[in-house]
Amino acid sequence: MFLDNDILSLVRACSSYDGTFDTISDVESFAKQLDVCAIYMKIFKHGREQLDLCVYGSSTVGMQKYGHATEYTSNYDINYSFIVNIYRNSDARQLTKEDDEVFDFFRTTITNSLAIYFLSRLAHKYLNYESSTGLANRFFYFTNCEKLIKQNKLGCYTAAFINCKNMRKINRLFGSEVGDLLLALYTKSFLEILDETQGEMLAYVGGDNFVMLFLNEHFEDIFEIIKSKNLHFTYRGDDLFFNMQSRAGFARLDDASFTNANMIMDAITSAIILSKEPNYPDYVFFNHTMGKTLSEIDSLKDSITNALEKKKFAVYFQPEIDISTEGQKRLVRAEALVRWRTQEGMATPIDFIPFAEQSGQICQIDFYVLEETCQLLKHWINLGITPVPISINFSKLNFSSSNLAEHIVSTIDKYNLDHSLISIEFKENTFDDKNHMLFSSISALHKEGIKTSIDGFGTTSTSILKLLDLNIDYLKIDKEMVSNATQRTITILKSLFDLTKELGIEIVSEGIEDEECLKRLQEVGCHLYQSEYFDKALSPRYFENRLKNPMY
């Protein structure tokens, strides 16, 4: 509208105001500061026709409040040359009462138009932007997608759903304020690439999640940031350095089947869900077969939940053997392993544990195994059978809980068992030198007389010195370290055995394959073994027999 554009240009040109408009009174106050005559000149020079347009085109609020607007324009003979003289000559005569009423009306009209403009800007902001981040919201993202669809420009774009990794850990360790600053800096990296005038945008959709729309030509630049972005900022005098990594679900929009914004969101949501599943990479491109895959994933989740409720998981026990210098073999400990009784047969951990770790159901499975083990230990004690300590594997996800040790202790105490009968085991990849929960959990378990062990040592590049800082009781060496070992490996193992012996840590060798491998380990000082070479994982019934006859 004519009035809106001219008023806006005057407002922008005015250098006397640098604040913000939050209320109508703010706008009115500002309007009074303007050179009213200059505004009138801007309007009147377009003639009587434009003048009527200004009046009739003013806001609904203004027309309701000043219903006699047409009376002013119809009954007053406005002297345009007099207005010009006032504008050009500051010494011009004073306005008459009638002229002053005309000016007062236009002053009100202009004020209302200013109010409508700035309030509409505020409405646009609150409707389309997320207040905590200042980024576009889901609604604006949908609106933008629909606009591109109508313009037949969608084929030049890629849509993405981005999930920032490790933000929960960062917020826990450094505080949510640092987390918010980090996300702001991270999203700024994307915004520096995106061109909003071309329809590219980044929108916040909650949690650590964002959606993006960008031209295909920018894909490589965007992808590099998603894979890895080093960020540095100062917080309260401290220099903080982070390496941000994200998962992403992509959808190329050159497919004619994307006929509305909901279909785009469904596509990238499907892709990001799969990126979090076992055996899928962190970056997934949408294809039309994903619906079936997601249905299968939901079905597997439901099956695990049902198996937990109906006790379809079975606990087996892998014996740990102590071989004395005289060669006698004796059962001294065991590790609890989980199996899943399905209609197709007994499923081994490799069939469902990776999936359960991704879905979060592994936490329930871990405590299920602990509960079943405690029940069996109590049962054997009641039968007069002398039990051996049983180690229970706990996943990395469980060690993010601050009350893990408390939960474990309460489960053991429910069966009135000696705490020494249960030890807690975790994979080497659980270790993180910033994982304070892991350190505190191990410390709390030790105070309760519960031992801990690291499983699969040698599968990652974790420093032995860092691992030993954990004050563990047992270290299980992965079979890859002992099978086909070279003389160099043997030397390293010998040093490791000497070091752990000094620290009071017992080493258990896993995966012995033959007599030659056993001999090499005995030569470097190993006497504890866990391997099918001696005994496979046993069901509770067969393990009970082994408890009755612990010698091999």
Give me the half-sphere count of Cα atoms (radius 13 Å) on the Cβ side of residue 520.
20
Give me the half-sphere count of Cα atoms (radius 13 Å) on the Cβ side of residue 207.
10
pLDDT in the model for residue 73: 32
Distance (Å) of CA 121 to CA 22, 41, 62, 374:
10, 26, 18, 64
The beta strand positions in 325-460, using DSSP E, are 329-342, 345-347, 390-393, 422-427, 451-457
Residues 202, 196: Cα–Cα separation, whole Å: 9
Q: In this prediction, what percent of the chain has a pLDDT beyond 90? A: 31
pLDDT in the model for residue 45: 40
User: Exposed, middle or buried, 176 (CB in 10 Å: 0-12/13-18/19+)?
Assistant: exposed
Fold of 304-548: TIM Barrel (3.20.20)
- What is the side-by-side strand order in the sheet with 157-164? 201-206, 209-215, 157-164, 246-252, 283-285
The candidate with the shortest Cα–Cα distance to 415, out of 377, 369, 366, 367, is 377
Residues of the chain with pLDDT under 70: 1-122, 289-295, 325, 358, 429, 431-436, 458-468, 482-486
pLDDT in the model for residue 169: 81
pLDDT in the model for residue 387: 96
Class of domain 138-288 as given by CATH: alpha beta
Q: Name the pairing type of β-strands 528-530 and 313-323.
A: antiparallel
Residue spans per domain, the chain: 2-128, 138-288, 304-548
Residues in the chain: 552
pLDDT in the model for residue 111: 59
The H or E element spanning position 203 is strand 201-206
- Assign 325 to helix, strand or coil: coil
CA dihedral 398, 401, 405, 407 (to 10 degrees): -90
Task: Give the pair of three-digit tokens for residue 69.
Answer: 């607007």
Residues 197, 189: Cα–Cα separation, whole Å: 18
The beta strand positions in 343-450, using DSSP E, are 345-347, 390-393, 422-427
Provide CB contacts within 8 A for 13, sequence distance 6+.
none
Task: Give the pair of three-digit tokens for residue 227.
Answer: 């894979």
Exposed e or buried b per residue across 28-41, where buried means at least 16 C-beta atoms within 10 angstroms of its C-beta: bebbeebebbebbb
CB atoms within 10 A of CB 85: 13
pLDDT digits (tens, 9 = 90+) for 394-420: 988 888 777 899 999 999 999 999 999
pLDDT digits (tens, 9 = 90+) for 424-442: 998 876 765 445 678 889 9
How is 221-290 classified by DSSP, letter by letter?
A: HHHHHHH-EEEEEEETTEEEEEEE-EEEEEEETTSTT--SHHHHHHHHHHHHHHHTSTT--SEEE--TTH
DSSP 429: G
Provide CB contacts within 8 A for 156, sequence distance 6+.
215, 216, 253, 254
Rounded to 5 degrees, what are φ and ψ at 265? -65, -40
Task: Give the pair of three-digit tokens for residue 10.
Answer: 């005057």
pLDDT digits (tens, 9 = 90+) for 135-162: 888 889 999 999 999 998 888 999 999 9
